[in-house]
Structure 1
């Protein structure tokens, strides 16, 4: 962790694992979501923003039990084990029982961009937890996904969460627009990605709760729409 460069923003990738992404039910627009996440990884890396990748680990005997091949991150996900922080979790929240909160504090991160799967489980829970812990949270609308559920399509689940989470807990942005630099410098590019957590709209925009969820530094969150595909971390 000593190699992390202090940065205002960081990228958190949730559960992009072989056993979840390549399961019996394909994730909604999986290829596009993976491409968008890799775009964000490249953008974050270019500005030396910290990158964290969570892997969900199930109990012994489950397909994603400790040490299983299906628990591993996707081979096509551009996470670098030598440079990025990969960690295991056993709960829906990436913060529960892990060192994530302390790693973010050590890296001086105050805004966290969240991507991955599944939308209604670990992505949703982590977005809300991050906001409650004081980080400004950005959910990239076109960079999170899930699978169909009984009576509800994956597309509907993603759309629902993008709408419900945006505003009170999360900022919304799209990959093209997502910037890892100062907010004022991320504008004008577009890639459609959704950001959903508990503080702002989920889409090709960056929004932060105007309602006043205070950030870690005590300042009020504000909603700043941004769109575009060539944003950067920094």
Structure 2
């Protein structure tokens, strides 16, 4: 298996709690934990990406990783201020330093940070496993969160213009695959 890393994007308290919470955060956290636990057992690095903006200032409760996530001391962190986890961050040099050749992406919000980071990863030459049931959003007046997620699963997995491709797997499929291919 190529050298893989797991990116968990923006699963922060301010996005998972209160009236503006994304859809199915409890289920999302459980599925992300399934992925990250399997990754660590297989020696795959886990990188927690945290977004900062007004209302999500570093160090504030809302900026912290969401309650219920299983975070380990050896996990890596990357901070960002735009939707793209690669833009003006330490992510690319970190991945290069680790010799990463493939990314597993999950997190929030589907149509913003998950979408743009997946496309940026492809642009940087990284094939992506998009964990199809481990990203979420709030939806909007026109579409439900489930519709946004389904649309992006299809769109991102059929994008071919970058060369590398994104493929879909559920959290359980990915965890089972990693366990059977150490």
Fold conserved between structures, TM > 0.5: yes
Q: 1:147 aligns with which of 135, 138, 149?
A: 138
1:120-174 superposed Cα distances (whole Å, 9 cap, x missing partner) = 0000000000000000111100000001212211111111111111122411111
Q: Provide the alpha-carbon RMSD of the alignment.
A: 1.4
Q: Within the alignment, does 1:33 sit opposite 2:28 as a pair? A: yes
1:95-137 superposed Cα distances (whole Å, 9 cap, x missing partner) = 1111111111111111100000000000000000000000011
Structure (1 or 2) with the greater helix fraction: 2
Which structure would you say has the larger RCO, counting Cα contacts within 8 Å and 6 or more residues apart?
2
Which blocks of at least 5 consecutive residues in structure 2 are unaligned?
A: 160-164
Map of 1:74-153 to 2, 5 A cutoff?
A: 74-80=66-72, 82-153=73-144
Alignment-derived partner of residue 162 in structure 2: none
Alignment-derived partner of residue 193 in structure 1: none
Which blocks of at least 5 consecutive residues in structure 1 are unaligned?
A: 1-6, 180-229
Structure (1 or 2) with the greater strand fraction: 2
User: Structure 1: how far apart are the matches of 2:18 and 2:111?
Assistant: 17
Match of 1:33, SS state, is: helix
Figure out how many residues of one structure are paired with residues of the other and give that number: 174
Alignment-derived partner of residue 67 in structure 1: 59
Give how far 1:45 is off: 0.5
Alignment-derived partner of residue 10 in structure 1: 5
